[in-house]
Structure 1
């Protein structure tokens, strides 16, 4: 919340303030702006501020908390790949981990992981390790609600991560029943996502270890396509429809 307050003050210095139904800028006080419009117009400017890279990044995370808009994460990614060089990795991934553990909506953060960091195979291994893989043993031992919340969120959007990268984490997470539903969603996304990746036999073996309600939606169909050796919905057109027919 502290960085959110700092971000609010920074926006006010830019002439942007929050009102009941949105945001207004002193340049066009009669025009009501959405959070997305504010993010597009001002989030990138943080990286031009006379601050060191770590403080720029912390301020941008404060904007993310304040606006809740995915575009702020895009500006972080742009800055990380910019001419000034990569952002401080400790601040970058601490920022993601902190928000993944927060008891509030973090759709912008999980969407960013999924479509930007995890779908890009030049970054997915590092990103997955930083937000979960390096900590999965700690999750298993401590099982605090914050850690479990982070683990669930990462597992659910981990479909595009290469199977060889995520399988060890998946196998460890099986030991925690509270993560079984999220593991199922991760395996399901690994099959259905355009960039999803899995090995059918290994995924089926994991699936069979999950304690899930018998009426779990898509469980029978997923088991069917994996048993048939299919790796991905888009590589096996018709396989899912066949599974639906077989399991109906």
Structure 2
């Protein structure tokens, strides 16, 4: 975890104005821009549609979006702020991340709630997730980490590990940490070290029964699957770059669906490989292959890519199998 930086000033205060100068802007000029925007958007009636505006993606536009979000908190505004972040230099990006820290720390409530969602969707599911999460954690006091860790499911585990460990020491943060751990398992882009997550779950108090049940399932049980057919690709085909793997069709049989990459594929206690891709985009017309046919199970079929010996594919069709997150099976056996 990086060294703490000064607490971000409340948006719109004199301290905020001073930091605004750091990206080459002055408050009167930004306020004039905001007034023009509000007039053109006819916001006097209490309605504001950010999608009707075209403000550009420069630093001044970013500052305007931040001030507008304080008045009209919504993901729509933050979506355009993200465009400024994507097109900005490192100075502007750092300033925008600091605005999110200010929103989470100072609120008010609707602003903080909107910021939490915007971070989850636009930053924590992006390649820059580690950078953004680490910067936020360093700028926020631990007492305000609740919204930061609650939505951190998609953040790479190495980036959030220390923050999660520190949060486990504070009972006031346990509800948010439980949500963050659940998201690490169950979010579409969730990232987790299942063994370390299991150790954290054992250290915290989870009052929400549904959440506790979900965490217990994720940290003590495999993902249960019922398989259908398998696809064995001709590895001499130049269109197949994934040597040493095959495809397996399966339906999730566990109460809750979750995905942990490189989970061990286990049947009758034997490990047959690792699941490395959920929903593999396979075009049968473009790659030479053969299918090991089997009755298709009822439910939503998922095509998995399995890293393992293709000679075992035939042994895995039409049966119940388990997907164990890396290390978890051995951890529970100790």
1:152 to 146, 149, 167: 146
Shift of 1:13: 4.7
* Alpha-carbon RMSD: 2.9
TM-score, structure 1 normalization: 0.71
Gaps of 5+ in 2: 1-10, 14-26, 224-249, 258-334
Q: Could you tell me which residue of structure 1 aligns to residue 181 of structure 2?
A: 187
Larger RCO, structures 1/2 (Cα 8 Å, 6+ apart): 2
More helix by share: 1
Residues 111 and 97 of structure 1, relative CA distance in 2, 3 Å threshold: same
Q: Distance in 2 between matches of 1:92 and 1:98?
A: 10
2:52 to 35, 41, 48: 41
1:18 aligns with 2:44: yes
Q: Could you tell me which residue of structure 2 aligns to residue 238 of structure 1?
A: 253
Q: Distance in 2 between matches of 1:10 and 1:185?
A: 41
CA contact (8 A) 1:100 1:153 kept: yes
Q: SS of the residue aligned with 1:207?
A: helix
Q: SS of the residue aligned with 2:44?
A: strand
In the TM superposition, 1:72-91 aligns within 5 A as 72-82=77-87, 85=89, 88-91=92-95
CA deviations on 1:91-122 (whole Å, 9 max, x unpaired) are: 212211111111321332111111110011x2
CA contact (8 A) 1:174 1:209 kept: yes
More strand by share: 2
Q: Distance in 2 between matches of 1:15 and 1:113?
A: 26
Q: Could you tell me which residue of structure 2 aligns to residue 203 of structure 1?
A: 197
Gaps of 5+ in 1: 23-34, 140-147, 243-248
1:129 aligns with 2:100: no
Q: Of the two, which has the highest radius of gyration? A: 2
Q: Distance in 2 between matches of 1:202 and 1:182?
A: 17
Residues 175 and 181 of structure 1, relative CA distance in 2, 3 Å threshold: same
Q: Distance in 1 between matches of 2:251 and 2:160?
A: 22
CA contact (8 A) 1:152 1:182 kept: yes
1:118 aligns with 2:121: no
Shift of 1:65: 1.5
TM-score, structure 2 normalization: 0.54
Q: Could you tell me which residue of structure 1 aligns to residue 162 of structure 2?
A: 168
Residues 64 and 15 of structure 1, relative CA distance in 2, 3 Å threshold: closer
Q: Distance in 2 between matches of 1:86 and 1:103?
A: 27
